[in-house]
Amino acid sequence: MIRFFENYSLKDHNTFGIDAKAKYFFEFTEVQDLAVFLRDNKSWRDEKLIVLGEGSNILFLNDFDGLLIHPKVPGIFSVHEDRQCEWIEAGAGELWDDLVEYAVAYGLGGVENLSLIPGKVGAAPVQNIGAYGQEVCAVVEKVKGFDLEKEEITEFKAEECRFAYRDSVFKSHLKNRFIITSVVFRLEKFPEFKLGYGDLEAKVKEKGDVNLHTIRKAVIEIRSSKLPDVKELGNAGSFFKNPVVEASLAERLKAEFETLPVYPAGEGKAKMAAGWLIEQAGWKGVREGNVGVHEKQALVLVNHGNATGKEVWDFSEKIKQSVYAKFGVELEREVNCV
């Protein structure tokens, strides 16, 4: 199935609820439909281009004057298994949490800590989503899609994806050139659970035995208690990345601010909690007009009404400057700004 529109409203296609429009909007459910569309419509090659899933990690600063491609490829199914693992392929258009629910239901580990993260499967490797000590790069086997430059269907093995903290080749070198249509995940039949992040272990043990189901329930409960529902309050989840800094700087700040959460990041680096920095800089729960910081989670910026992308951007700049002035730490936006 394909759909094509001109001057198309994106308000329902970004979780911030920004009322921007796309000059052209193309949606497809089969990769062959995308190939045919691009082959038969060479004029679109001259347009600006962006690929959009659920829009859970994007901020539109203005209307988009170009072609927006929306992959809606469905399906979650097993493609191979052995004694230790099962390989699951999921279409880019599937909701990420539906994949996690599927994995847990079938006793497959590796993504349970990533429960309730908003967005589609196709966006997961782009952002290398992560939470509670798990990152999706650890279970990605291959990423399938369409290369716009070569005009051909192709795939990338995990080692070719250049995964890093909230980053991948799809977010940098191949941004808006490679359209992900499905992802193959290698999930564990006998997983080792990761419970050492935050208050996850205590919450899991409240629910009884430690298993995939109790971990998923605990993560959902924690996230639901801290993060606003995008259906009720527009947001894009974590707006800023947790900064990775020199370990020496983290040690100096930890000596001055004892409650600062610091985690080893390897190679003489340390990761600090951006939400803590923002809260200590006095921004938690602050509102300016239509934009604000969520009252329960300082890492989340929210749209209280009819905010524009520019309003959100300007507000985030104030937060960045304030945190840098207090701690000497530069925050980087996790949200993609267009």
**Which residues does the annotation mark as catalytic?**
166, 238, 334
Residues in the chain: 338
Structure tokens at 2: 């394909």
The angle at the Cα of 59, spanning 168 to 166, to the nearest 5 degrees, equals 20
Number of continuous H segments (helices) and E segments (strands) in the chain: 8, 20
User: Could you give the CA distance from residue 216 to residue 114 in angstroms, rounded to a whole number?
Assistant: 8
Helix (H) or strand (E) holding 268: none
Specify the 3-state DSSP secondary structure of 156.
strand
Detail the DSSP E strand segments found in the chain: 2-9, 21-28, 48-51, 58-59, 64-71, 76-81, 85-91, 130-131, 134-135, 140-147, 152-157, 178-188, 234-238, 244-246, 262-266, 269-272, 287-288, 291-293, 300-303, 336-337
